[in-house]
Amino acid sequence: MRRTRLVALDVDGTVMSYDGVISAGVRDAVSRLREAGVHVVLATGRGPHSAVPVARDLGLDDGWVVCSNGAVTARVAPLSDDGFEVVQAVTFDPGPALRALALEMPDALFAVEDLGHGFRVTGEFPAGELSGRVQVVDFEELLGQPATRVVIREPQAEPDEFRALVERVGLHEVEYAVGWSAWLDLTPGGISKASALETVRQDLDVEPFGTMAVGDGANDCTMIEWAARGVAMGQAPEHVRAVADEVTGTVEDDGLVPVLLSVL
């Protein structure tokens, strides 16, 4: 009998509301899945310094966490100094993309992930948008080191402007995802939540038909398509819902809960 053995979950807008609340229903459903022997893996744009505390809060104290949109894979390690161990980190040279985008959007804010700690930024981002240690540096300093993830933010722009900008600039050496606001995530070319989850799936010896993924954002499309059962949250944009096998309720309505319980 075929059954789901690996459940991949986005964090913000899926497991957690946009104001940072995990409902009692989600907590209970995740606990029941764990008791049933199902592997629950968070797959998020967050870095490990921000994603692993969410995993531990959910009781996922010994599992995998896919971070930075797939560029970083970590394992929860409660006894380590940081609470996690980075198993794999894929980097790229952010210089060409940053220079091209800065020419097009000179007033934008730029951030490069400081793996395991936070971000190095060119200016202050809107409150609450970045987690961990945030250090303001000169733009040129961001260009000098390999990066797992780059964020470009223009608070006054619209998401459609970012999509048009990416098409105009032609970012061929990186993967990108436009967020709900004028927020652009860049990760190494060929890297996504799906690519990292495929490695995790193989390590856990789960058959491809035993996978499920749930998410709500553009950066979730690849893992929704990768999973045997791909689920979009009800508030997801149309292009995200279009790639899903099914659509559940919104995060405000605890739409994740019935999907998790259906696995049981």
Residue pLDDT, tens place only, 36-82: 999 999 999 999 999 999 999 999 998 999 999 999 999 998 878 88
Residue pLDDT, tens place only, 157-172: 777 777 787 778 877 6
CA pair distance 55, 63, nearest whole angstrom: 8
61 with 79: CB under 8 angstroms?
no
Q: What is the pLDDT of residue 2?
A: 57
| Strand-by-strand arrangement of the 39-43 sheet | 84-89, 72-76, 64-67, 39-43, 6-9, 211-215, 229-232, 246-247
112 with 94: CB under 8 angstroms?
yes
Q: Which residues contact 70 (CB under 8 A, 6 or more apart)?
A: 43, 90, 187, 191, 192, 193, 194, 195, 196, 197, 222
Structural fold of domain 6-89+191-263: Rossmann fold (3.40.50)
Tell me the domain boundaries of the chain. 6-89+191-263, 95-188
pLDDT < 70 stretches in the chain: 1-2, 172, 180-181
Tokens of 28: 């209970």
DSSP category for residue 107: T
> What CATH code would you report for 95-188?
3.30.1240.10
pTM higher than 0.85, yes or no? Answer: yes
